[in-house]
Structure 1
Amino acid sequence: MNMVLTLLGHRYYIKCLNLKPKELKEEEYPKVSILVPAHNEEKVIGRTVKSLLLLNYPKDKMELIVVNDNSSDGTYEVLNKIRKEYKGYNFKIINTDKKTGGRGKSNALNIGLKNSTGEYIAVYDADNTPEKNALKYLIQVIYFNKELGAVIGKFRTRNKNKNILTRFINIETLSFQWMAQAGRWELLNLCTIPGTNFVIRHDLIKKLNGWDINAIAEDTEISFRLYNMGYKIAFMPLSVTWEQEPETLKVWLKQRTRWAKGNVYVLTKYIKKIFKNIEKKVVFDILYFFLIYFIFLSSVIISDIIFVLSITTDIKTSVSGNFFLLWILAYVLFILEVSIALTMEKGESGIKNLILIPIMYFTYCQLWMVVAIKGIIEYIKDKLFKKEVKWYKTERF
């Protein structure tokens, strides 16, 4: 499935090479409220806010709302200093405390939403530095297409050269975007909202009563609800933001476990509705997640157990066919699909990355098994013991 999506993503990339979004006149640009949830973001928030304030978008049509969500570090001091420096800009800071905030990204976004006045809502994470035209490209797409409930851009790894982990993350994010986002858009006009660099219609998010505060993968959950309303989510790769990725394995494991746990929540929330009155596109994504988190994962675990038993005990397995050759072909297929995805990004298909891809299969990719299992176990434990869902905020560097 991923190989098919990669090839379709490549076809969409070819189309994008000559893509020129329809320009709006200066007075036609709608008002946009940019929401940035920020909890203990002192290290990165200054750079983010400045890049957002300096976006190539009419200043009188843009408001920036940073929700300083119960921070205990110097986040507010950094924000207040920038607000004084950029006096002529529509920049609001909303401070929360233990009672009103500190309950995760969804809650912070809902607080920002209540204080927003824009026709469209844009969301950026606190570690992002979008390129100058990022917001303009998103608006140019959604403004002329009433079928779209949201439009998403692309995110790139700002600290990709820090160490081998960030290099692997860079390869993963690029291949995912061209495989699962561009490929699905080309195949079914289907995309999933990422956590950052996207625009959604204000009236729609109001109808949906904002973000689900129980969802720690709030981006996937809101995507499913938009599909179910009959709206599409488009992919606009010309809109680019650069974000900081985890630089240690410990932080990476915590972040990705939250993703896995959040996606399992979304899957269990919607899988029971699969045979009811539900959009076909939602069914495709439910099946996609089900294949990844249950069928594929359980197959790999069973396969590994059989392999370990066969070399440590007298138990022998006999399966007809040349499975060693099939495994080699599957390995080559993995290398090919990721390599194809990297050709769609300038400077990313160099010799360094091409050497890393075969290594990635045996190292970084195998860690996803640990993440998926951990995420499923944590989700089950929370359900059994009726624990309150807690948001893990990715540590910054």
Structure 2
Amino acid sequence: MIYYVLWIVSFVGLILAVFWLNLLFFNEGRRIKIKKLPHVSIIIPVHNEEKTIERTIRSLLNSNYPKNKLEIIVVNDESTDNTFNVVKKFKNIILIDNKHKGIGKASAVNAGLRIAKGEFFGVLDADSEVGKNSIRNILTYFSKNKIGCVISAFKVLNSRNIYTGIQKIEYAFTVMIREFMSRINTLYYSHGVLSVFRTDLIKRLGYFDENNLTEDLEIAMRLKSKGYEVKMALKSITYTRVPGTFKDLWNQRVRWYRGFLNNLIKYKYVIFNKKYGLYGNFQLPLNIFSLIMLGLVFILFSYEIIRNLYNWILKIIILKFEIFSIGDLPSLKYLLLTIDIKYIFPIIIVILVNSFLLYKAHKIIKERTRLFTLNLFIYFLVFPVLTMFHWVTALFKEIFQTSKEW
């Protein structure tokens, strides 16, 4: 059974790779020349961010967007460290205390949005930094009124250990795929590393959902459900810090995946609905199919591990705990000769295809890539297994409705 699942996964993966690569020849999307720069509000929700918030604010102040048209709103979300005092030393920064506590940062974003004066507003996490041209570039993608949100491309700032190094590879790949989704109008993500929205539109739609684990995903899916488009500004580069420990990465991904499952159920009426074009008839069904295949792989591999472990324990009992000598262990040559090519070949195909896609991803975001590194090895062979456990944990928590923590 595993044999068939692996071949299905590799076959579908190959078809998708060809499909995504063909999108390289699609037009990036129409951009406009801005004759008169609009007023923009940038909302930064903060909670115990004393170590990073100063760099975040300075990146905005050092951008080439006119200061008289840039409103920076920092919303202090019950910080217990020195965040408030760090922000307070900046002049012309609006600093407010958010007294209303929701599940995540949505309540803080809404608090800033209520007083925002800009025609457009952006959401920027306190651990992120904008590039010099980020804001100007992102606004050029609002080429028509139906575009409700434009997200920036992003790079990792802190790739110093294995965890952050793997995410640096992953983020490059993610930017490429989201750019392709943007080109065929199936993009349904926004993020905290600078996403810009039409202010009046989001207010009309009822602000951000304060009871949602992934409010940035929810607002993008809400925009799509109302017939608006979400685009990526590939030339608008922003930078973010990613989790640097196993625990932080685990908690982040489980929260993300729980949020996705929750919002998928919330907007299930979009799936296979002709009204929503490729978004409803291709992108969401593809994601659901991927989750089903991921679940199958998890179940089958778990079964194989348990079965082999059972046989190994049984063998030890039968042999009355006889200890094998080193000489009894199989040689490397023997292990290589006994490898079943039926299982290995589809895995090799997937790795080769993804290696090529990863190479193209780094070229697209103009970032250097290194082959044959430990991070790359872990990304291809270990990270997918970890991701599988993230999804299983998220599914388990959603089924049993465990407490939601941001």
The residue type equivalent to 1:111 in the other structure is A
Match of 1:394 in 2: none
Match of 2:212 in 1: 215
Q: Does the 8 A contact of 1:6 with 1:337 survive in 2?
A: yes
Structure 2, unpaired ranges of 5+: 1-11, 312-339
Deviations 1:219-260 (A, max 9, x none): 211111111111111111110111111111111111111111
Mean Cα displacement is larger for which, 372-381 or 203-212?
372-381
Match of 1:395 in 2: none
Mean Cα displacement is larger for which, 49-58 or 330-339?
330-339
Alpha-carbon distance in 2 for matches of 1:324, 1:9: 25
Q: Secondary structure at the match of 1:348?
A: coil
Deviations 1:370-396 (A, max 9, x none): 2111111222232xx7x5x332xxxxx
Pick from 162, 166, 169 the counterpart of residue 168 of structure 1.
166
How far 1:4 sits from its partner (Å)? 5.6
How far 1:208 sits from its partner (Å)? 1.2
Match of 1:73 in 2: 81
Show the 5 A alignment for 1:101-180: 101=101, 103-142=103-142, 144-160=143-159, 162-179=160-177
Pick from 12, 33, 50 the counterpart of residue 23 of structure 1.
33
Q: Secondary structure at the match of 2:184?
A: helix
Structure 1, unpaired ranges of 5+: 84-88, 315-319, 392-397
The residue type equivalent to 1:67 in the other structure is V
Q: Does the 8 A contact of 1:37 with 1:69 survive in 2?
A: yes
Match of 1:390 in 2: 405
Q: Under a length normalisation based on structure 1, what TM-score does the superposition of the two structures give?
A: 0.84
Q: Secondary structure at the match of 2:213?
A: coil
Change (3 A) 1:94 1:283: farther
Match of 2:329 in 1: none
Q: Does the 8 A contact of 1:21 with 1:137 survive in 2?
A: no
| Percentage of pairs with the same residue | 29
Pick from 39, 45, 48 the counterpart of residue 37 of structure 1.
45
Q: Does the 8 A contact of 2:193 with 2:239 survive in 1?
A: no
Change (3 A) 1:6 1:233: farther
Pick from 341, 350, 366 the counterpart of residue 330 of structure 1.
350
Match of 1:254 in 2: 251
How far 1:304 sits from its partner (Å)? 0.2
Q: Under a length normalisation based on structure 2, what TM-score does the superposition of the two structures give?
A: 0.82
Change (3 A) 1:132 1:200: same
How far 1:60 sits from its partner (Å)? 1.7
How far 1:58 sits from its partner (Å)? 1.8
Change (3 A) 1:13 1:137: farther
Show the 5 A alignment for 1:163-202: 163-179=161-177, 181-188=178-185, 190-202=187-199
Deviations 1:174-210 (A, max 9, x none): 101102x012123345342123211111121011101
Change (3 A) 1:374 1:64: same
Q: Does the 8 A contact of 2:46 with 2:76 survive in 1?
A: yes
How far 1:22 sits from its partner (Å)? 4.0
Change (3 A) 1:115 1:8: farther
Q: Does the 8 A contact of 1:10 with 1:178 survive in 2?
A: no
Q: Secondary structure at the match of 2:59?
A: helix
Match of 2:238 in 1: 241
Q: Does the 8 A contact of 1:335 with 1:357 survive in 2?
A: no
The residue type equivalent to 2:171 in the other structure is T
Match of 1:350 in 2: 370
Q: Does the 8 A contact of 2:185 with 2:230 survive in 1?
A: no
Match of 2:267 in 1: 270
Change (3 A) 1:309 1:102: closer
How far 1:9 sits from its partner (Å)? 5.5
Q: Secondary structure at the match of 2:74?
A: strand
Match of 1:96 in 2: 98
Change (3 A) 1:351 1:34: same
Alpha-carbon distance in 1 for matches of 2:171, 2:394: 20
Alpha-carbon distance in 2 for matches of 1:245, 1:235: 20
Match of 1:362 in 2: 381
How far 1:35 sits from its partner (Å)? 0.7
Q: Secondary structure at the match of 1:82?
A: coil
Give the root-mean-square deviation of aligned CA atoms: 2.8
Q: Secondary structure at the match of 1:322?
A: helix
How far 1:311 sits from its partner (Å)? 2.7
Question: Which of the pair has more CA radius of gyration?
Answer: 2
